[in-house]
Amino acid sequence: MVKKTLISILGLIIISCFTVNVFAEGLSPQLCKDKVIAATQLIAAEGEAAFVKIKDPQGEFRFAGGQGYIWIQDLNPTMIMHPIKPSLDGKDLSTLQDKNGVLFFIAFNEIAEENAKGGWVGYLWPKPGAKEVSPKVSFVKLVEYNGKEYVAGSGMYDVTSADIKKQFPKDAVYED
């Protein structure tokens, strides 16, 4: 009897683990965009107090099994808050460029300032732990709170600007 009960409990645990994985949201351009919009709404309501919620590793702004996250920069562009690479916090990123010379933090600011609904920037960047670059695209949006302006962004690998233009034909896409 005890053996059957233990087997049943173990079976339920295994099934629940698979169920959680099946229903976990996958990283997609739409999810990145939705999370950036939600983050900007939170910042517009709470200002810098929102950064703690956005940075929370267990919070809603760490998504798709930890692959997705939101970063915050200012218009200089200086990194205000990066939840994956906190060593970037406070750094001027105006000279950081990809293999093709795209100054993507400058591009983030340009597309965000020019488009109230935000926009996309495609660039090349190595995946975590890789040496070779991969295509990456990020959605960014400008938000203002109490006279301060911030750009919130989120991105993903293996998606190009051409992919974004097909999926979001009305969205602004940075052209270098």
Q: What is the mean pLDDT of each run of 10 residues along the chain (176 residues)?
A: 45 37 73 98 98 97 97 98 96 97 98 98 95 97 98 97 98 93
Q: Which amino acid is it at 67?
A: Q
Q: Which amino acid is it at 92?
A: D
CA diameter of the chain:
69
Average pLDDT, the chain: 89
Beta strand 62-63 with 172-173 is unpaired
Per-residue confidence (pLDDT) for residue 25, from 0 to 100: 76
Query: Is the full-model pTM beyond 0.75?
Result: yes
Task: Name the CATH topology of 26-173.
Answer: Beta-Lactamase (3.30.450)
Query: Which pLDDT tens digit goes with each residue over 139-171?
Result: 999 999 999 999 999 999 999 999 999 999 999
Distance (Å, rounded) from C-alpha 125 to C-alpha 52? Answer: 27
Break the chain into its structural domains and give their ranges.
Answer: 26-173
Give, as one character, the DSSP assignment of residue 88: G
